[in-house]
Amino acid sequence: MQKIVIDTNVIVSALIQKSYPYLIIYDLFIESKFQLCVSNQLMVEYYEVLTRPKFSKYQDFFSRAEALIVDIETKAVKFVPTIKLDLISDEDDNMILELADECEADFIITGNTSDFNFSTYKQTKIVTPKNYWDYHQPE
């Protein structure tokens, strides 16, 4: 089973519009077609970002976010990264790489192509939601 790390921007997008992030979360993750890998630090970021007042303009955003967080807490596998990286200027993005390193992720799915401007980190492919959906999703 694929091990996946999902950047927070993909989670937000899945809750706002029905596009590739939505399909990845609701057609694949919720159906347990891949293993979502998280760390305590990433979960804190998910909580922090998903409770920002700016998202109140989207209908039912907070109730859907809360339900998704419960699913993530229940289904995801938690890892404790043991390395500290400084490869990307945004510290939160280094946290994603540290987690991918620890869990030996197959993919990092992110919409942040400006900071993740490389296609692999060790054994992990770094892909956009569309690229993952079109070329890498599990059967």
Instruction: Residue 34: name the closest of 105, 126, 125 by CA.
Output: 105
Q: How many domains does the chain have?
A: 1
Report which residue type is found at 80.
V
Per residue in 88-114, pLDDT tens? 877 779 999 999 999 999 999 999 988
Domain that holds residue 102: 3-135
CA terminus-to-terminus distance, the chain: 10
Strand partners, 126: 108
Per residue in 27-53, pLDDT tens? 999 999 999 999 999 999 999 999 999
Q: For the domain that residue 79 is a member of, what is the CATH number?
A: 3.40.50.1010
Distance (Å, whole) CA 125 – CA 73: 24
Of all residues in the chain, what percent carry a pLDDT higher than 70? 100
